[in-house]
Chain A
Amino acid sequence: MPHIEVENISVELPVFEVKARSLRRELAAMGRRHAMAESGDGCVTVPALRDVSFSLKRGERLGLIGRNGAGKSTLLRALAGIYRPTSGRITSSGRRVPLLDITLGLDDNSTGRQNIKLRGLFMGLGQRWVAEHEAEIAAFSELGDYLDMPVRTYSTGMRMRLAFSIAMTVEADILLLDEVLGVGDSAFQAKAKARLGEVAGRAGIVVLALHSSPAIMELCDRALWLDAGGVRMFGNCHDVVREYDDFMHHRMAA
């Protein structure tokens, strides 16, 4: 029974570039108690998520909305188990399949076919899974002969189609998607939306970050509005999106 339970998580992202990320600085600060206390770890941290809590049950499809930098991608990474929260706790059960950044996670110099295998292995799936699903992925992605070309030669839309098709084929209990519907032509977008709805039906839980309010209304039944790393509103999709749209509208008018 897949579920996600997020309890008061906060995530702080260290930004090393602001202060030198060097051993020299750390060594120089050694023995000088005050310097260490002042600079902490010697780096600046950005609070990306503050005290976020919510829970999802099987069959729920959550849309994350919020402005750029509100923490949507960070939250997805935390849910995927890539970022361990600085504080708080996430408990979840079931296979989590992240599709967080379509341009990453593909090997540019390998062919589409080899990338299917690579992504499969990254998700802990074996040779058999690849053999069984390659044809399905090939058909859905509509890549045709390009599947035997290096991914380096693909357009952004083609990469997205490949990555999306792979993610949609994995038997996921929890599917985590970040802005994946933004790319691809409109025909593929329509197809992708239909597929997403279908997968959501059997996957159990889907969490997706989207910029477009209509798409959220269409695909999700719950929504979480993130603002500056905190939860502004969580609940029924329509209520949250309406509130968010009103807010954004006022901001634009002001």
Chain B
Amino acid sequence: MRAAALGGGLHDLVQGLGSFRLWTLLGWLDIRQRYARSTLGPFWITLSMGVMVGAMGVVYGTLFGQPMARYLPMVGDGFVVWGLISGVLNESCGAYINNANYIRQNNAGLWVYVFQVAWRQVLMFGHNAVISLALMVAFGFPAAGVAWLAVPGFLLLLANVVWMGQLLAILSARYRDVPQMVACLVQIFFYVTPLMWRPDMLHHYRWILDYNPFSALVDISRAPLLGMAPASQSWLVAAGMAAVGWPVAILVSARKLHLIAYWV
């Protein structure tokens, strides 16, 4: 029974991945729509992130008494990575709710809409990556020997947020409190994940790091950009989450996706 459900769910997932032309187009249309008729267009994404990184970096760097050359890249790259995590988690909640008109009109498979959200966020991440580049130009490039680790790190991060996104999309379609709850939790995780502070500033509250899965996800994708190798524990945690999360997401999808048309 469970094996059959897993097989069926996997089939849906593969079918959804196969419709990449559809979800890349839908994701791009969202971006275009959001910045339609503005002069800067999608570069507002870059600009607003740049302003935030600059302002927060300078204020908190001064507050914490940190050298800017070290602190600003850490905050900047951290915000860029966090933008992707929080973007996928928050907006996945609306993946089914906001696409009700398409869902009730087409039978195109439902993974498409979660991939649409993920793709939209990847596009935004692409715009924000300009900031990481600017910080490297200003404060020095990381050694090529570790920098390439950002690629597998980013892919593993993405793999994790997408399975979370699928579960959140299903839950949100059924329980309309979930989007609000997620927004609240993501806000909390923003503060307890080492984005604005360095782990060694924590002293005896290290457990906050050890029990926060998002610090592992941030570590594997940000540390290489700062010229450091991510902790091996971070790789383990991230890979473990994906290994557990994906089967769960596929199983839940196999059981619940057929109800989405009724719930939206």
Contact = CB atoms under 8 A, between A and B. Distances in A.
Nearest to A150: B36
A82 B22 contact: no
B29 interface: yes
B106 A98 contact: yes
B106 A117 contact: no
B25 A26 contact: no
A251 interface: no
Contacts of B262: 13-14, 83
B101 interface: yes
Nearest to B258: A84
Contacts of B107: 80-82, 96, 98
Contacts of B103: 82
A121 B22 contact: yes
Q: How large is the interface on A (under 10, 10 to 19, 20 to 34, 35 or more residues)?
A: 20 to 34
A138 B143 CA distance: 55
Contacts of A77: 104, 261
Interface in A99-143: 100-101, 104-105, 107, 109-110, 114, 117-118, 121-124, 126-127
A24 interface: yes
Contacts of A118: 22, 25-26, 29
Given A14-B262, A121-B25, A22 B105 contact: no
A105 B177 contact: no
A187 interface: no
Interface in A32-82: 77, 80-82
B187 interface: no
Nearest to A110: B29
A101 B108 contact: no
B175 A105 contact: no
B23 to A, nearest CB: 9
Contact of B108 (A14, A22, A124): A124
Contacts of A81: 107
A23 interface: yes
B21 A105 contact: no
Interface string A193-217: 0000000000000000000000000
B198 interface: no
A21 interface: yes
Contacts of B105: 82, 98, 100-101, 104-105
A124 B107 CA distance: 10
Interface string B158-193: 000000000000000011111001000000000000
A183 B39 CA distance: 38
Nearest to B109: A124
Given A13-B262, A14-B262, A122-B22, A107 B104 contact: no
A231 to B, nearest CB: 22
Interface in B99-126: 101-108
A123 B105 CA distance: 11
Interface string B221-264: 00000000000000000000000000000000000001101110
B177 to A, nearest CB: 5
A122 B102 contact: yes
B106 A122 contact: yes
Given A22-B177, A98-B107, A121-B19, A109 B36 contact: yes
B212 interface: no
A96 B104 CA distance: 14
B33 interface: yes
Contact of A109 (B33, B101, B177, B261): B33
A190 to B, nearest CB: 26
A17 to B, nearest CB: 10
B89 to A, nearest CB: 17
A96 B107 CA distance: 9
Interface string B67-109: 0000000000000000000000000000000000111111110
Contacts of A84: 258-259, 261
Contacts of A124: 19, 108
B176 A21 contact: yes
A192 B164 CA distance: 46
Interface in B1-44: 19, 21-22, 25-26, 29, 32-33, 36
Nearest to B107: A81
Nearest to B36: A109
Interface of B: 19, 21-22, 25-26, 29, 32-33, 36, 101-108, 174-178, 181, 258-259, 261-263
Closest 6 CB pairs of A and B: A105-B105, A104-B101, A84-B258, A121-B22, A81-B107, A122-B106
Given A82-B261, A121-B25, A127-B21, 15 more contacts: A14-B263, A16-B263, A22-B175, A26-B175, A77-B104, A82-B106, A83-B261, A83-B262, A84-B258, A98-B106, A101-B104, A101-B105, A110-B29, A121-B21, A122-B106
